[in-house]
Amino acid sequence: MTVWWLLLTAFAVSWALTLLLRHYALVKSLMDIPNERSSHSIPTPRGGGVAIVVSFLLALPVLAGLDLISPVAFYSLLGSSLLVALIGFVDDHGHIAARWRLLGHFIAAAWALFWLNGLPSIELFGISTDLGWIGNILALVYLVWMLNLYNFMDGIDGLASAEVISVCLGMCLVYWFSGNTELMWLPLILSAAVAGFLWWNFPPARIFMGDAGSGFLGIVLGVLAIQAAGSSPELFWSWIILFGVFVVDATWTLVQRLVRGDKIYEAHRSHAYQHATDLFKHHVVVTLSVVAINVFFLLPLALLVGRGWLSGSLGVLLAYFPLMILVWKLKAGIPIDKLSSRSL
């Protein structure tokens, strides 16, 4: 019963703190002003993701005190996510050069991997494989990419929040059916904290998340996936499958921009979800469509992998190939000014 009260408290704290942050942003003129790269049309307060950070991090020591999470999970998440959130908070209020942000991100990822003792053995085409130091390097890059891609994908109302909730609740089902219920509490608490913010961020958004929130969510989700691999190698791939929409859109777009020679650190409007928003004219349509893809397409594959009925590697291929076709059809990576609505 105590844990369920903790979920309600995390939601309530996030909800109330988001309201206070919105008022603070309005008073201090911390506004996201629309420009040619924006998907919104009116100035909107930003920085509401701090509410997610505070409510989740306050819940961590409670979960640890109840022995619902291990000290390894506690310290890996606390140190890495707090550092990423602080970097994002400072960047939201001023500016940090891209190279220093990236350095901080790698330090945060290294901290998490230190406590997690590196990347555990993972399943590759049905065989449990220990990649050793190569795996640790790949895990480091993976964590940094996760927190940055989450920042890239936080571009329309409610999308980043809805993604977290649908992915985390989906993984709770995977944990339940695979007999790993002890891993459910962190994604449940994260979902509750994000739901309190989503109340204010659902289209039309009354406040935006900001870099502090999006980067924080990216690193937390990445760490949860690696933590799950330590309990069962298949669970890592279940997380990767459920991340599919964000991973495919962000990675495809980045590769396209690299090939074209664009400055990848500059803001742009060339993601598939941004083109889809222009096509359907409503943020809510795209946000709910992503949730539907997660629930009706990606979750069944994640469940099959988590139960051991489908190879994780094959599950990822089955999940990602249709998504790659979708982002290709939506012209991901092509600047919006080079498209017309008829070309989508």
Q: How far apart, in whole angstroms, are the C-alpha atoms of residue 196 and residue 19? A: 10
Name the strand (E) or helix (H) holding 45. Answer: strand 44-45
| Tokens 């979750």, residue located | 299
- What secondary structure does DSSP assign to 113-164, as a single string? HHHHTS---EEETTEEE--HHHHHHHHHHHHHHHHHHHHHH--STTHHHHHH
Q: Is 180 annotated as a binding residue?
A: no
Angle between helices 272-280 and 244-260 (to 10 degrees): 100
Angle between helices 71-93 and 98-116 (to 10 degrees): 170
Q: How far apart, in whole angstroms, are the C-alpha atoms of residue 55 and residue 280? A: 34
Strand partners, 79: none
Q: How far is CA 200 from CA 15, 50, 68, 194, in A?
A: 8, 13, 30, 10
3-state DSSP call for residue 184?
coil
Please measure the distance between the N-terminal and C-terminal CA atoms of the chain and give it in whole angstroms. 50
- What secondary structure does DSSP assign to 87-125, as a single string? HHHHHHHS---HHHHHHHHHHHHHHHHHHHTS---EEET
CB atoms within 10 A of CB 335: 15
Q: How far apart, in whole angstroms, are the C-alpha atoms of residue 314 and residue 179? A: 22
Q: Is 151 annotated as a binding residue?
A: yes
Q: How far apart, in whole angstroms, are the C-alpha atoms of residue 339 and residue 269? A: 11
Q: How far apart, in whole angstroms, are the C-alpha atoms of residue 8 and residue 192? A: 7
* Residues placed in the known binding site for Mg(2+): 151, 211
* Residues placed in the known binding site: 151, 211
